[in-house]
């Protein structure tokens, strides 16, 4: 007989930075409710050696519109593509969260960085 386990997850999809955390329901303790909250992903900001529990809310899409990378990785890859003048067929979005709330606004290529 297998035990059923549940997870409570939180995603902070922020305007500038994003992150996530979770906790197994069997680990919850009402006397210390935040004790076993896990936020295991630590992102590294490439050249500055900054380690953070959040990553920039930006994403890089390839020429087919498929997700290539997110966060610090997207920033660094797009910067390198620009340095090599190879960024023409890529789509880089940053600080786009608030644009998602307005259904009358569509993102255009001019909105890309």
- In order of 78, 79, 92, 100, 108, the CA distances from 104 in angstroms are 28, 30, 21, 10, 12
Asked whether residue 64 is assigned to any structural domain, the reply reads yes
CA distance 89 to 42: 30
Domains identified in the chain, total number: 1
Asked whether residue 31 is assigned to any structural domain, the reply reads no
* DSSP line for the chain: -PPP--EEEEEEE-SSEEEEEEEEGGG--TTSTTTT-B----EEEGGGTEEESSEESEEEE-TTS-EEEETHHHHHHHHHHHHTT--TT-EEEES-HHHHT-TT----GGG--
Asked whether residue 81 is assigned to any structural domain, the reply reads yes
- pLDDT band (50, 70, 90) for residue 98: confident
- Torsional sign, CA 49, 51, 57, 59: positive
Confidence check: pLDDT of 104 > 70? no
Residue with the bigger pLDDT between 107 and 59: it is 59
Asked whether residue 21 is assigned to any structural domain, the reply reads no
Asked whether residue 17 is assigned to any structural domain, the reply reads no
pTM: 0.68
Asked whether residue 36 is assigned to any structural domain, the reply reads no
Q: 86 is in which domain, residue-wise? A: 56-111
Asked whether residue 51 is assigned to any structural domain, the reply reads no
- pLDDT tens digits for 10-63? 888 889 999 888 888 888 777 776 778 887 667 776 666 677 788 899 999 999
- pLDDT tens digits for 74-92? 999 999 999 999 999 999 9
């Amino acid at each position: 007989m297998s035990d059923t386990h549940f997870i409570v997850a939180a995603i902070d999809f922020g305007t500038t930075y994003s992150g996530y955390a979770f906790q197994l329901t069997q680990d919850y303790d009402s006397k210390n409710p935040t004790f076993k909250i896990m936020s295991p992903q630590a992102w590294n900001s490439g050249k500055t050696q900054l380690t953070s529990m959040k990553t920039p809310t930006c994403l890089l899409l390839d020429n087919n519109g498929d997700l290539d990378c997110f966060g610090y990785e997207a920033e660094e890859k797009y910067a390198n593509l620009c340095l090599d003048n190879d960024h023409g067929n890529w789509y880089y979005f940053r600080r786009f969260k608030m644009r998602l709330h307005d259904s009358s606004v569509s993102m255009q290529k001019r909105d890309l960085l």
